[in-house]
Amino acid sequence: MTTKKMAIIATKGTLDMAYPPYILASTAAALGYEVQIFFTFYGLQLLRKDLSDVMISPLANPAMPMPIPMPVFVQMLPGMESMATMMMKQKLKKHGVASLEELREMCLDMDVKFVACQMTVDLFEFDKSEFIDNVEYAGASAFFGFAGETDICLFV
Amino acid sequence: MNFDKEFDASGMSCPLPIVKTKKALADMESGKVLKVIATDVGAVKDMQAFADQTGNALLASSEAGGKFIFFMKKK
């Protein structure tokens, strides 16, 4: 049986959108897939050594379930983002959902390959030393080299 | 049912029961049986899917008092 392959393009850097790439990548790797995640634009934030700035905002996020209805002018007050992030993290923990750090570690453990988009690293003037070590830097063509051979390719 | 190793995934949510089952199987010899305990209701379908896709045999799966018990034989 040939090894199945999956490629994910991770483009978002908020807490809620950080989960799908790491959950799907770790699960696929557990199922025996060879997996690559291509991090581009805001997705690059998910490669930081310190993930504490990965947050969720109730602003412009009307689908986010809130304990009490909250008007937009309240959502924009200082500290609301931190509070929403703290509440979301507590909820995740209570339900036994792994932290992002833990999921990322499991991905690396199972040889999921992380590729960072060199162009967006330069565009945002990110310092590579702020990213974890197990990252390769490449462009779209390099990604297609792998993605073209995959069974599943997802854009998140 | 006899088993060689036990992994308790109680309280863990997707994808931890599957990912950690895979990890628990990693250092076992072929033919050995892993018992997995989970509380995540999603694990019932996921464990079967894991077995189907990895070739490890799901020998039995049952529920008792809100816990799901699986016996997985390593390929």
ipTM score assigned to the predicted complex: 0.89
Within-domain flag for A44: yes
Instruction: List CB contacts of A134: < 8 A, sequence separation 6 or more.
Output: A108, A114
Cross-strand partners of A99? none
Tell me if B18 and A32 make a contact (CB, 8 A cut-off): no
| DSSP H or E segment with residue B2 | none
Question: In this structure, what DSSP letter does residue A3 have?
Answer: P
Strand order from edge to edge, sheet including B57-64: B5-9, B33-38, B67-73, B57-64
CATH number at A104 reads 3.40.1260.10
pLDDT tens figures, A16-25: 999 999 999 9
* Domain span holding position B22: 5-73
In chain B, the number of structural domains is 1
- Residue A84 has phi, psi (to 5 degrees) of -60, -40
Task: Name the 3-class secondary structure at A144.
Answer: helix
pLDDT tens figures, A90-149: 999 999 999 999 999 999 999 999 999 999 999 999 999 999 999 999 999 999 999 999
Q: What pLDDT sits at residue A1?
A: 61
Within-domain flag for A73: no
Within-domain flag for A142: yes
CATH number at B16 reads 3.30.110.40
Q: Is A152 within 8 Å of chain B by CB? A: no
Catalogue the long-range contacts made by A122-125 (C-beta closer than 8 Å, 24 or more residues apart): A124/A44
In chain A, the number of structural domains is 1
- Residue A110: list chain B partners with CB under 8 A: 19, 22
Q: Is A98 within 8 Å of chain B by CB? A: yes
